[in-house]
Amino acid sequence: MATNTLAKPPAQTCILVTGGAGFIGSHTVVELLNAGYSVVVLDDLSNSSAESLARVRQICDLPETGPGSERLQFVQASILDRDALDTTFAAHDISGIIHFAGFKAVGESVQKPWEYYWNNVAGTLVLVDVARQHGVKSIVFSSSATVYGDPDQVPITEMAEKHDATNPYGQTKSMLERILSDLYVGDPEWNVVLLRYFNPIGAHESGLIGEDPKGIPNNLVPYVAKVAVGKLPEVGVFGQDYPTPDGTGVRDYIHVVDLARGHVAAIDWMAGRVGTGCADDPYSLPGDAAPDGSRRGVGVFNLGTGRGSSVLDVVHAFERACGKEIPYVMKPRRAGDIAENYASCDKARTELGWVAEYDLDRMCEDSWRWQSNNPDGYAS
């Protein structure tokens, strides 16, 4: 039976990464491997490509077969597939889970609410049920700053009140935060970290892995990149009359590699290797340390840079990265958009020992390297 402790050294620890072939997941797998962990990726490839994991092996110099190859293993399955999950936990000595798997397009979630609630919420319930049956009760959850809704003030701290999400995707994140927190309340052996991301962009500096959205991108930087590479004609900038320095919306953009390293820091925090415990805030449930030194409880952390950048800041940074002008058109505000949203990351720095290192120019440079080397994504 697998153990729920993360207190073993990384070289003796296996992490299950659901959705590990996706954008954030693949970068997190790289950082876990670099930190000495072994990884089992479970992904149904509904919005990702197995090619990303082949490139992860290339980045980390892992062979496909032979000694060392077993440090990265792949299972193609959905988190709704109980039998596949049971087989995966039985076959591997998994100590903890990083849970990315889920549908993530805001607009699509409005059109397909049942699919989003079923896949994201029911799938997570299946995952944690199978995990606990195998004695695995440590999970890092991929949450989102969307749980804050329209914030009362910025920068947003973890103590900020959560407002109702404006779409089913955001609702699933908020619901799952509640569900995973309640798991600990009902069973104090659980060890839960909720990571609230702001706006991940960028790509690995090698240019081998990056964001590869299916169809027309939903997020700003992949859209800008598609314009830069000639796949789309222009960028639509929605709203030019917000109370911000240039009138366009301001967001906290974070390099995906910084974000990935935040997940490794969260695993180390759960294992008792960094930090001193949960800060005193109403959305964390600090528990006592387990006999093996690992933590029990619920930790809530923002992952961002703590700096806001406007839509036009991003467009101009990408122009500097690619050396060409990015055509854009100003359009009316979109319903539900807010003026500015950026994080306070003091808690992550204090408790996880983590801080974002890369600035907006570096994010755009790495995005452009990925996009220009892979104009058709992994299909290239």
Q: What is the pLDDT of residues 317-374, one digit of tens each?
A: 999 999 999 999 999 998 778 899 999 999 999 999 999 999 999 999 999 999 999 9
d(C-alpha 237, C-alpha 244), whole Å: 14
**Mean pLDDT, the chain, as a whole number?**
92
d(C-alpha 316, C-alpha 5), whole Å: 47
d(C-alpha 14, C-alpha 36), whole Å: 10
User: Is residue 353 a contact partner of residue 275, using CB atoms and an 8 Å limit?
Assistant: yes
DSSP states along 284-304? -EE-PPPTTS---EEEEEEES
Dihedral Cα 250, 198, 378, 319, nearest 10 deg: 20
pLDDT confidence bin for 149, thresholds 50/70/90: confident
Q: What is the pLDDT of residues 302-312, one digit of tens each?
A: 999 999 999 99
d(C-alpha 319, C-alpha 296), whole Å: 46
Is 197 designated active site?
no
Residue 292, pLDDT > 90, answer no
> What is the radius of gyration, based on Cα positions, of the chain?
20
**Angle in degrees, CA 207, 144, 188, rounded to 5:** 115
Q: Is 327 left (phi over 0), alpha (psi -120 to 50) or beta?
A: beta
Residue 274, pLDDT > 80, answer no
Catalytic residue, chosen from 117, 148, 169, 358, is 169
Q: What is the pLDDT of residues 230-257, one digit of tens each?
A: 999 999 999 999 999 999 999 999 999 9
CA 288 to mean position of chain CA atoms: 27
For residues 168-173, give the mean pLDDT: 94
For residues 166-186, give the mean pLDDT: 95
d(C-alpha 373, C-alpha 380), whole Å: 8
3-state DSSP of 214-232: CCCCCCHHHHHHHHHCCCC
> Looking at residue 335, what is its pLDDT?
78
> Looking at residue 285, what is its pLDDT?
65
User: Is the Cα torsion angle 59, 63, 64, 69 positive or negative in sign?
Assistant: negative
> Looking at residue 151, what is its pLDDT?
87
> Looking at residue 141, what is its pLDDT?
98
Give yes or no for a cis peptide into 155 (omega within 30° of 0): yes
